[in-house]
Amino acid sequence: MSIIRNMAGKIELRNALLAAALVLVNCGASDVLGAGPVFWDWPSDRSFEEMDLEGAALDREGNLVAGLAGQTAGPSGPEVFWRIIPDGRGGYYTGTGHGGEIHHTTSGEKSRLVARLEGTEVFSLLMLDDGDILAGCGPEGQLYRVQSDGDATLLGSVDGGYAWAMVNDTRDGKIWLATGSPAAVYSFDPESGILEKAVELPAQNALDITFDGQGNLLVCTQGPGLIYSLDPRHPDQPRLLFETAQDEARQFITGPEGKIFVLALNTDESMQEDGGMSLGSGGSGPPPMLMALLMEGNGPTISRAALYVVEDDGLVVPWWVGDVDLMIAAWSPRWGWLGGGPLADDSGQTILYSLTPPAGNHPAAGWTGGDIMDLLVESAGPDGDSIIVCQAHPGSVTILGDSGDAPRQALSPPLDGGIPVRWGRLNWTTNKGGGKLKWAVRGGNRSEPDDSWTPWSDSWTDQNRALPLEPCRFLQWRVEFPSKGGEKPLRLTSVSVSGWQDNRAPVIVSFTQEYLKDVHLGMMNNHNENITQTFRSGLQAEFSQNSIDDRLAGPERASMGRSVRVFTWLGSDPNGDRVLFDLEYQRTGEVAWRKIQSGSSEFLGSWDTSEVPDGDYYIRLTASDSPDNPGALTATTNRTLGPVTVDNSKPEITGFRIAELPDGFQVTLTARDTGGVLAGAQLRLPDGTNERLDPEDGICDSPKEKFTARIVWPRPDRPAGPMPWRIRVEVRDMGGNAAFTEADVH
């Protein structure tokens, strides 16, 4: 149900007669489908990116296709898998967190625990020529040597606390480590067992390290994102190659033609907010090509992720940018550039992206899992590459490929009809590729599928199919791609689901007459000659009048704008249809209803009663969903308020006398109101000031009141005023009608 709320508003009333403008802050209807025929169309008004992917993917054009199918591999148990490296025999080693475990999984997918390094996180792994493993750890920066039988030897620790990455120098057998924090490069000599700092860099962490084609070390850092070149013979003389627009240069990747690429991530929220780009010593700003990609609106915005390529001459140039959250990237000769990171939401859907330069990305695989922490590309022979994915929260290892019997399917989000819908048909189109699509649907009346939903229907392959469901509010469809697509892959280019929503009448949640809380001089737009009323709900009304004497008996009893009544309401429509409102009045004892306003989409209205006779009236509000339901399909509902008393007759003043006294004068009068109760009276004294005039019984609360007041004049603290002294009396009734009389004191 879509609720329409009047949160606050302003009504501007000119000359105390007509409502000239209505302005509301509307808590409007949500995106709910209206009554009658309803449709859910992909991709015209929805995206295939809404799908839950299980072995399906999106291509560059946004079509739904068969993707990388996944199967769970070993090991299992740890909550976090930080790192994965190949074992050179078709298997792999993994390093985990929360217990520092190192596992080995063979090509036959048999896993065993190699070692447990208590109290550590294994962030980096390196395989030595003799088959032993080096493990770089944190948060105390330990470096371990682990033998195949699990025997672990502590070789030393780095000062910063984290050994993020390692690389082997095949020329002299040294091991180089990227560490933090602060960022530093360490060297380790296996023969001597010496672990020592080679250079400290002006950043928080050195996150990765590798060799370029000339035998120089490349190091990338975080906080800021810097790329350095180091001569292993003189590592204490680093050369800054580039500062990335992002604050974290995270990972080196060997890509096409053996070139080295750098994955950079923007993790600095301040950079996201103000688009700032700091420049390090010896660095330069982003190249023009990257700046053009980063420019949005009136200023630069830093993309969340980017790939840079390091040319042979050390020049760093942009290759790809994108606004996706990544943690890791990889290059596959079969699948191209791939990237993965944290879950985008709480749906539990892991997405592996295909990255297409210069700025494209689309899901290459999806499955139920956790955050992607590391990727390993392994050749799978004639069937192409397989992608081994390390994940966290929950920890797991998943192998992705385009072979095997794993399902390749996509599930739509639950389609919400707002109310139970009579479901129509499902239509789809493809590029006429090889194989057939299999479809199934299920439905229910809860937003998330559970046991109350129907089971999945029998599958079908028809291109236009009547949906086999009884009326229900929610529907979900599933499409399954053939595991073998042939030479021309099958691409799903569009899907349409139809239904019929029976119309239901709008609902008037509340209908209220506004009552005054306060009256003050001045306009809402600072025109001081006007008067503004504030109602109890916070609504304001403005009147342009010459009189400024509007505080006779308090605004809740008499006020300017007395003839204009203000009404507000809350409305809803079960179908989410647009609603129009009519406001009418009917005098007590009569049959006819007469229009006040009609066809309004606003949620307040005003009634000028200055041209109707005094008496009691009823006010009727009618809500209609005619904009979305033509002819006989229109539904209406109404609500009546009242009686509302209209009193536009002035009080009558009789017996007005002023008698001179030695120390002033005495005022005597009688006031009578035929339409209701008197609200109050006041005197305008000779010096122009006002003074309340109370009746003889002390309270002005009857249709007839007698007033006698003895006024001491002149007063010591006031000027006497010109002679003869002019005395003016004003009497108002509860309707705000005023009567005046005046006389002189000689």
Q: What is the pLDDT of residues 161-216, one digit of tens each?
A: 899 999 999 888 899 999 998 999 999 999 899 999 999 999 999 999 999 999 99
Q: Check whether 531 has a pLDDT greater than 70.
A: no
Beta bridge partners of 435: none
pLDDT confidence bin for 15, thresholds 50/70/90: very low
pLDDT confidence bin for 115, thresholds 50/70/90: very high
Q: Check whether 566 has a pLDDT greater than 50.
A: yes
Burial per residue of 396-423, b for 16 or more beta-carbon CB atoms within 10 angstroms, e otherwise: bbbbbbbeeebebbbbbebbbbbbbbbb
Element (H, E) at 289: helix 288-294
Give CATH 2.60.120 domain extents, the chain.
37-56+408-501
First to last CA, the chain: 73
Take residue 546 and report the two structure tokens written for it: 């010459």
C-alpha to C-alpha distance for 598 and 583, rounded to whole angstroms: 6
List Cα–Cα distances, 147 to 101, 128, 153, in angstroms.
13, 10, 9
Q: Who wins on pLDDT, 544 or 143? A: 143
Pairing assessment for the beta strands 540-544 and 530-535 based on DSSP bridges: antiparallel
Nearest to 707 by CA among 732, 682, 728: 682
173 φ, ψ (degrees, to nearest 5): 80, 5
**Radius of gyration of the chain measured on its C-alpha atoms:** 40
List Cα–Cα distances, 686 to 383, 542, 720, 745, in angstroms.
106, 31, 7, 9
Pairing assessment for the beta strands 507-513 and 69-73 based on DSSP bridges: unpaired
C-alpha to C-alpha distance for 92 and 358, rounded to whole angstroms: 32
- Mean pLDDT (the chain) is 84
Nearest to 646 by CA among 620, 619, 621: 619
pLDDT confidence bin for 649, thresholds 50/70/90: confident
C-alpha to C-alpha distance for 136 and 175, rounded to whole angstroms: 11
Residue found by looking up tokens 């009688």 in the block: 670
What are the start-end ranges of the E strands in 554-651? Answer: 564-573, 580-587, 594-600, 604-608, 615-624, 636-646
Element (H, E) at 272: helix 269-274
Nearest to 400 by CA among 382, 414, 419, 384: 384
Q: Which of 463-467, 485-489, 502-506, 542-546 has the highest mean pLDDT?
A: 463-467
The pLDDT value given to residue 526: 53
* 61 CB-side CA count, 13 A: 9
The domain 652-745 belongs to what CATH superfamily?
Immunoglobulins (2.60.40.10)
The pLDDT value given to residue 294: 37
Residue type, 301: T
List Cα–Cα distances, 546 to 17, 44, 259, in angstroms.
14, 58, 83
Mean per-residue pLDDT, 559-582: 84
292 φ, ψ (degrees, to nearest 5): -65, -35
Burial of 384 (C-beta count, 10 Å sphere; 0-12/13-18/19+): middle
Mean per-residue pLDDT, 144-148: 93
Region 2-34+506-646: CATH code: 2.60.40.10
Nearest to 333 by CA among 259, 384, 399, 263: 384
Distance of CA 432 to the CA centre of its chain: 38
Residues 6+ apart with CB under 8 A from 533: 516, 518, 519, 540, 541, 542, 543, 555, 559, 560, 561
- Three-class SS of 581-600: EEEEEEECCCCCCEEEEEEE
Mean per-residue pLDDT, 125-130: 93
The pLDDT value given to residue 18: 32
- 37-56+408-501 classified as CATH 3.40.1350: no
Nearest to 91 by CA among 402, 382, 376: 376
Whether the Cβ atoms of residue 168 and residue 128 lie closer than 8 Å to each other: yes
Q: What is the dihedral of CA 148, 152, 156, 161, to 10 degrees?
A: 100
Give CATH 2.60.40.10 domain extents, the chain.
2-34+506-646, 652-745
pLDDT confidence bin for 104, thresholds 50/70/90: very high
Pairing assessment for the beta strands 2-14 and 540-544 based on DSSP bridges: parallel
pLDDT confidence bin for 519, thresholds 50/70/90: low
Q: pLDDT tens digits for 443-500? A: 999 999 999 999 999 999 999 999 999 999 999 999 999 876 556 788 999 999 999 9
C-alpha to C-alpha distance for 115 and 132, rounded to whole angstroms: 12
Q: Check whether 296 has a pLDDT greater than 60.
A: no
